[in-house]
Amino acid sequence: MTDSAFATDEFIRARIDAWLRDLGSVRRLAPRTLEAYGRDIGQFMAFLSGHMGGPVTLSALKDMRGADIRAFMAQRRSESLGSRSLARVLSALKSFFCFLEREGTLATEALNVIRTPKMPRALPKALTVVEAKQTISMTDEIEDRPWVAARDMAVISLCYGAGLRISEALALTKADLDADVMRVTGKGGKVRMVPLIAPVRNAIASYLELAPFKLWPEEPLFRGVRGGVLSPRLIQLRMAQLRGALGLPPSATPHALRHSFATHLLGKGGDLRAIQELLGHASLSTTQIYTAVDTERLLESYAKAHPRG
């Protein structure tokens, strides 16, 4: 039984039960989600009931305005409910009122004027400099085939030493490589030039020397053991092995090496605009999230090292 049991009349109570049955049997929502949705709609009905001084009726729902929903959301926010939970609450309300509209019981515009709460942007998980270097150097210690170890080390080096997405690294051809720079094709087919620093250049050279396949200039550089284009999944699995060997958290993925590249550059005084170009971000706001990462790491260091921390 939901929180709406004593906040609504029998008709609305029956509609809520029918909606929850529909979510469970037709929409196949998980039991925990159903429980959360039922609780959310019950709390909303209890809120409306408090305003009305009696059980919520169909007539009351027809008179509902956007201001009523905003007031309910504001109350939930004041109870320290986070944006993600508030978004779920709003999703539950929309689902219920869409159900009423589908069955011809009620149509309302009140929810159309309510915006979904803005989600806090998750900070990228970067490795430390030592962890990133260990990840690269240990690759040949957990792979017996020298050319495969060299291949994986080269790809991982590109993620950390050049800030490439794994898809960008695997799309590289010999023709994309020059002595000091490489041509990288990013999202939307946008091409950028990225410096080819010595450790990355050496890792690629080692792979090319050991690779058992003929690699034509215009074809993808990195190959699987049968000669086909290397799958990103194999590099992800390699990173999982490296995580286990080094005791790193699950967040230590190939993409985390790209985050580490940006975070470490910024920490050494790198220009934000330059980092944006290197990463291939269309908007500076996407790159600016690394300033928050760098600040967070600085505060952690301060708390650990300062006498008054």
pLDDT number for residue 274: 82
User: For residues 200 and 159, is the Cβ–Cβ distance under 8 A?
Assistant: no
Please give the pLDDT value at position 293: 54
DSSP H or E segment with residue 182: strand 181-185
Whether 243 sits among the annotated catalytic residues: the reply is: no
Residues β-bridged to residue 194: 182
pLDDT at 148: 96
Q: Tell whether domain 3-113 is in CATH 3.90.45.10.
A: no
Q: In the annotation, is 160 catalytic? A: no
Residue 206 CB contacts under 8 Å (≥ 6 apart), including other chains: 150, 153, 154
Q: Give the pLDDT means over successive 10-residue stretches in the chain (309 positions).
A: 64 92 85 90 91 84 86 87 84 91 86 72 76 92 93 96 93 92 89 92 95 92 94 95 92 90 82 81 68 54 51
List Cα–Cα distances, 32 to 5, 23, 142, 148, in angstroms: 19, 12, 41, 45
To the query of whether residue 306 is one of the catalytic residues in this protein, the response is: no
Domain boundaries for CATH 1.10.443.10 within the chain: 129-305
Task: Say whether 102 is catalytic.
Answer: no
Task: Decide if 298 contacts 291 (C-beta within 8 A).
Answer: no
The listed CATH number (1.20.140.10, 1.10.443.10, 3.40.30.10, 1.10.600.10) that belongs to domain 129-305: 1.10.443.10
Quote the pLDDT of residue 266: 79
**C-alpha 64, offset from chain centre:** 36
Total-model pTM: 0.59
The residue from 165, 223, 259, 264 that is catalytic is 165
Task: Calculate the alpha carbon distances from 132 to 156, 254, 256 in Å.
Answer: 9, 10, 9
165 given a catalytic annotation: yes
Catalytic residue from among 187, 190, 273, 302: 187
Q: Where are the domain boundaries for CATH 1.10.150.130 in the chain?
A: 3-113
Selecting among 39, 88, 255, 297, the annotated active-site residue is: 255
The single residue of 13, 258, 259, 264 carrying the catalytic annotation is 258
The pLDDT assigned to 134 comes to 93
264 is catalytic: no
